[in-house]
Structure 1
Amino acid sequence: MKAESIMEQFRSMLTDLKNHSDINVNIGQVNPPATEEEISEICTKFNVTPAMIDFYGQANGLKIQWERKKDKKLPNGGLAGGYINLLPIKEVFSDWKNIIYLNDSDPRKPLHPLDFFIEEACAALYLDGSDNSQVYYYAYGEKMSSLGVDFEGYLKMLLKSRGFWYWHKAIAQPEYFNPYVPMSVEEKNFREIMPQLFPDFRQSDFQRLNDNNV
């Protein structure tokens, strides 16, 4: 039996979310594929992996927003829902000056937002010239934190997390780690609510990294 492509997996996830009795899907948008010209242009300027070419050749970004029907706003803060906003290829590989970085000496310059799931935070490729760029979590006013995955790995984590609100905090080491409060509100919500909504959810898929802040 032929394995599902990455986009087939995202489409299956979207269908499952729409059919879920406890979930409302507010946005389920899959863009048409990027053109060969768009992909070729990026390939001449950056180290683009086969996984990137495969994804953007099937969909030039996608946006999914869902929420739990009951008690979507949680008493301790945060939301019981998911937000995915995978940007089109030209946006990802554009210049993010004055949005992500300020000048050429800014250590955030190599960050290129991949999944701008909310205005103040994103998952971004760290385009430092390596053959297989890694993905970092970045929120304004905080240090960037490695998620320990590349582009392909990030897509797989999105599928497992369904893009749950700030699921990234279950992996990325926080800038200031308090041993007495080891879990953020967002991570606590993620770990408590995901098993309630999705029986196939596995906590072991989301292990916190060591402190790899740049």
Structure 2
Amino acid sequence: MINQFRSMLKMLEEHPDINVVVCNFNPPATIEELNAAKRYFNLTPAMIDFYSQANGIQICWERKSNKKPPRGGLAAGYINLLPVEEVFNDWKDIIYFSEADPQKPLHPLDFFIEEACAAFYLDGSDNPKVYYHYCGEEMSSLGVDFEGYLKLLLKSRGFWYWHTAIAQPQYVNPYVPISVEESNFREIMPQLFPDFDASDFQRLNNE
């Protein structure tokens, strides 16, 4: 999987319409770091495989054109896959604020932007689902596990808020059937990446 991220980065660097602003592949997680995480959660084979190759990845890119997206927002990509010891850390006062907080089981794995992340929902499952979380507010399943999330991340190239094309918002505004973020994603991705397939990003119902 790490090689696929490296291939994606190379493609972004060679793209005539894209500037890669940040690119960093962390060194592999140590045995001590993996064992510390295992004391909190029994890591799946996909997690062990990923973090054993790179204990976190940061990639940020932006479209070179100064032309603004049709409805505002950004034409850019943000990936911030956190180190395993951070993922399975205590997120009190960042993700949840009390023991009774329903967001307590969320553990961010991709803190792609300051106010939002993709997070494991540790509900007791051996292979937890990943949720889109707008900090302090929205929490919606993406319908995939860790490996599935990485596959979607590669297909989306980490486009700004691509998650909104899948996650069902808690509060749907009937007058705004599609958000700025989703609109940008669906309109700009095919312009930049001819292999983009919108069918890979289907809206889910609330879970």
State the Cα distance separating 1:36 from its structure 2 match: 1.3
State the Cα distance separating 1:181 from its structure 2 match: 2.3
Q: Does residue 1:56 correspond to 2:51, yes or no?
A: yes
State the Cα distance separating 1:140 from its structure 2 match: 2.3
Match of 2:165 in 1: 170
State the Cα distance separating 1:18 from its structure 2 match: 0.1
| Greater mean deviation of Cα atoms: 10-19 or 176-185 | 176-185
Q: Which runs of 4+ in 1 moved over 6 A?
A: none
Structure 2 counterparts to residues 87-106 of structure 1, below 5 A? 87-106=82-101
Q: Percent identity?
A: 72
| Greater mean deviation of Cα atoms: 141-150 or 61-70 | 141-150
Match of 1:3 in 2: none
Match of 2:124 among 119, 126, 129: 129
Match of 2:36 in 1: 41
- Could you tell me which amino acid in structure 2 is paired with residue 165 of structure 1? W
Instruction: Give the 3-state SS of the residue equivalent to 2:176 in structure 1.
Output: coil
- Could you tell me which amino acid in structure 2 is paired with residue 147 of structure 1? L
Match of 1:25 in 2: 20
Instruction: Give the 3-state SS of the residue equivalent to 1:133 in structure 2.
Output: coil
Match of 1:108 in 2: 103
**Within 2, Cα distance between the matches of 1:139 and 1:71?**
27
Q: Does residue 1:77 correspond to 2:72, yes or no?
A: yes
Structure 2 counterparts to residues 132-151 of structure 1, below 5 A? 132-151=127-146
Structure 2: segments with no counterpart, 5+ residues: none
Match of 1:199 in 2: 194
State the Cα distance separating 1:179 from its structure 2 match: 3.7
State the Cα distance separating 1:141 from its structure 2 match: 3.9
Give the TM-score of the pair, scaled to structure 1: 0.94
| Greater mean deviation of Cα atoms: 88-97 or 139-148 | 139-148
Question: Aligned-pair RMSD on alpha carbons?
Answer: 1.1
**Contact kept? 2:36, 2:85, Cα under 8 Å:** no
| Greater mean deviation of Cα atoms: 62-71 or 175-184 | 175-184
Q: How many residues align?
A: 207
- Cα separation, partners in 2 of 1:39 and 1:126, compared to 1, 3 Å: same
Match of 1:65 in 2: 60
**Within 1, Cα distance between the matches of 2:128 and 2:111?**
17
- Could you tell me which amino acid in structure 1 is paired with residue 49 of structure 2? D
Instruction: Give the 3-state SS of the residue equivalent to 2:22 in structure 1.
Output: strand
State the Cα distance separating 1:73 from its structure 2 match: 4.1
